[in-house]
Structure 1
Amino acid sequence: MIAYFCTSKRKEMNFEFDQYLGFLAFLGILTMGFWLMIFLLTFMIPYWLTGSIIENVKEWKKKREEKKQAV
């Protein structure tokens, strides 16, 4: 049994240059997508939510003041 494993021919993975470039392009796109998601989740979405909440609070205050002035 041991002799079989020792004498078996191993298949070597021979990549051609275009396959190597394709693999590097895939890794680059995957990495850019990962960092884009991190950026969106940690900065852009909280920034957008905070801005919209502040704008809504300003509108509510303005409407409340208008109601007080009307009375």
Structure 2
Amino acid sequence: MFDFDQYLGFLAFLSILTLGFWLMIFLLTFVIPYWIGGALIERLKEIREEKKAKRQNS
């Protein structure tokens, strides 16, 4: 059915496909929410500091 080189190519394709799938799952469930959450926390800190600076200047 398959020659040995075709079999190796098919295995390489499946392994790359599987690695890509799990990488996307990892990125979508951990990395991107962590990145967005950190950005929101930093933005809220900046907003609080701006409000505090306005109150002290007034």
> Percentage identity across aligned positions?
64
Q: Pick one of 41, 50, 53 that aligns with 1:63.
A: 50
Moved over 2 A (4+): none
How far apart, in 1, do the equivalents of 2:10 and 2:27 lie? 26
Question: TM-score by structure 2 length?
Answer: 0.98
| Correspondence for 1:16 | 3
Normalized per residue, the structure richer in helix is 2
- Structure 1: gaps spanning 5 or more residues: 1-13
**C-alpha distance in structure 2 between counterparts of 1:15 and 1:32, whole Å:** 23
Amino acid at match of 1:39: F
Q: Tell me what 1:39 maps to.
A: 26
Runs of 5+ consecutive residues of structure 2 not aligned to the other structure? none
* SS of structure 2 residue aligned to 1:25: helix
Matched length: 58
Write out aligned runs for 1:25-36 (5 A). Answer: 25-36=12-23
Q: CA RMSD in A?
A: 0.4
Query: What is the TM-score normalised by the length of structure 1?
Result: 0.80
Between Structure 1 and Structure 2, whose CA radius of gyration is higher? 1
